[in-house]
Amino acid sequence: MKSEPGEFGIDDLERRPGQTEPWDGVRNYQARNMMRDQMQPGDRVFFYHSNCEQPGIVGLAEIARAAYPDPTAFDPEHKHYDPKSRPEQPAWLMVDVRFVRKLKRTLTLAELKERPELDGLALLRRGNRLSILPVSPEQWDFILALE
DNA sequence: GCCAACGTTGGC
DNA sequence: GCCAACGTTGGC
Distance A17 CA to B10 C1' (A): 44
Distance A22 CA to C1 C1' (A): 38
pLDDT at A147: 93
A11-38: pLDDT as tens digits? 999 999 999 999 999 999 999 999 999 9
* pLDDT band at residue A51 using 50, 70 and 90 as cut-offs: very high
Domain ranges of chain A: 2-145
Q: CA distances (Å), A108 to each of A84, A123, A141, in order?
A: 37, 12, 16
CB atoms within 10 A of CB A93: 21
The domain defined by A2-145 carries CATH number 3.10.590.10: yes
- Residues contacting nucleic strand C by the 7 Å CB criterion are A 2, 4, 50-52, 55, 109-110, 113, 129-131
Do A123 and A27 form a contact (C-beta atoms < 8 A)? no
* pLDDT band at residue A129 using 50, 70 and 90 as cut-offs: confident
pLDDT at A127 exceeding the cut of 90: no
